[in-house]
Amino acid sequence: MKINSSGRLSDMELNFNNTETAFRSKTSADLKRALWLFRSLASPLLVKSATWLTNAALRLKLPLNWLIKPTIYRHFVGGETIEECAGTVARHKEFGVSSILDYSVEGNHDDKSIQETLLETLKSIRNAAGEEAIPFAVFKPTAFAVPDLFEHSEPGRPLEGQMENEYYRFRSRINVLCNEAFKLDVPLMIDAEDSWYQHLVDDTTEEMMRRYNREKAIVFNTLQMYRHDRIQFLKDSIANAREGNYFLGVKLVRGAYMEKERERAKAKGYPSPIHPDKAATDAAFDEAIRISLDNSDIVSVFCGSHNETSNLLMAQEIHKRELPLNDKRFWFAQLYGMSDHISFNLANRGFNVAKYVPYGPVKNVMPYLFRRAEENTSIAGQTSRELKLLKTEIRRRRSTR
């Protein structure tokens, strides 16, 4: 697809295989380092062994920064602090890609760690307010409550006693963050969680939307589309927003806890909340894109996906509806260190694109890095696709010397 004089797309196909555009923010040394990393991630045995050894070293409090920081940490994490991420943000901005700084520390969830995470998230919101290249802030809601609140929660069962008090404290902390985002005009995304307590997050997020989304979408809920109830949930959310006269912010993702969800459902004897196969998840995700864009008068949609087909679909649907490519209601996003061929090619065509950039101290973001390693190992085609694109660009650069 090409941008014509009207600022919209012509009918030429968007090319995600353009590696020159995809990797133009990377030096040749960056590409070689990434090639080595993804070759390592292609080995399930190596990933499993490295994860076990790293966990053992962490338990023994052995120093690991010298090994982790120049390799997998450098590829998937922006830095230990907001300040350390500034170079990554500037580099993305140079090529038309925004950044979203995600504090990815997974603490002990006691009062001290909850307060520390709250202060850091407020800092990230204020930092976004002062940087045009950081259009959103984000947080993981389980960081703001004791684990018992979620683990003992069940849909349809009211909270009582201490858990009711903990839920009140949770909502109060979320309100502090949403109020700050509202005052500073920074859209704020609330991540999704496990299905059996997601209703607590949904209810709280809807409350925040009713309060702060009166003029535009400031608060965004996240829908994991591998859940078979999320299409109806999206439709109900749109109906509630229309009835309540507020704007709906929606981040669409496929989902992150599939095996955990299925195992729990089996163990406890209830139907799995997850679609039976990937095809059904893909269909639901793409339907959610269409539904959201059909209601773009009140819905802002954030497409968080590494799936080429879904990203292309949203680009085509924006074009088909003759909407401006840079309309701030519509965003694409991929994780830092992955799918640059999607991010930079979309940005090159004029779409709003952001990279999710995790940050935090090395030892505290190890759970995040383990998930990235396992994801690239287990998802069919993820690592092989990255390897193929990296090899193509390395060969292209050699041939143009």
pLDDT band at residue 46 using 50, 70 and 90 as cut-offs: confident
Distance CA 100, CA 357 (A): 6
pLDDT at 377: 59
pLDDT at 156: 84
pLDDT at 381: 66
Per-residue pLDDT tens digits for 127-148: 999 999 999 999 999 999 999 9
List Cβ neighbours of 278 (8 Å cut-off, separation of 6 or more).
none
Q: Supply 288's token pair.
A: 């959610």
Question: pTM of the predicted model, to two decimals?
Answer: 0.92
Q: Residue 380 pLDDT > 60, yes or no?
A: no
What ranges in 271-365 are assigned the alpha helix state H?
278-294, 308-320, 340-348
Distance CA 136, CA 190 (A): 11
pLDDT band at residue 6 using 50, 70 and 90 as cut-offs: very low
- What is the rounded average pLDDT of the residues 348-362? 96
pLDDT band at residue 3 using 50, 70 and 90 as cut-offs: very low
Geometric angle at alpha carbon 307, from 250 and 362, rounded to 5°? 80
Q: Residue 7 pLDDT > 60, yes or no?
A: no
Q: What type of residue is 132?
A: E
Per-residue pLDDT tens digits for 145-185: 999 999 888 888 889 999 999 999 999 999 999 999 999 99
Q: Closest by alpha carbon to 320, among 91, 55, 9?
A: 9
Portion of the chain with pLDDT greater than 70, in percent? 94
pLDDT at 367: 80
Three-state SS at 303: strand
What are the DSSP calls for 39-102, one per residue? Answer: HHHT-HHHHHHHHHHHHHHHHTT---HHHHIIIIIHHH--BSSTGGGHHHHHHHHHTT-EEEEE
Ramachandran region, residue 357 (left: φ > 0; alpha: ψ -120 to 50; beta: rest): beta
Three-state SS at 321: coil
pLDDT at 287: 98
Portion of the chain with pLDDT greater than 90, in percent? 76
Q: Residue 116 pLDDT > 70, yes or no?
A: yes
Per-residue pLDDT tens digits for 330-343: 999 999 999 999 99
Distance CA 182, CA 179 (A): 5
- What is the rounded average pLDDT of the residues 308-324? 96
Long-range (24+ apart) CB contacts under 8 A made by 16-19 are 16/308, 16/311, 16/312, 16/341, 16/342, 16/345, 17/341, 17/389, 17/392, 18/341, 18/345, 18/348, 19/341, 19/389, 19/392, 19/393, 19/396
pLDDT at 215: 98
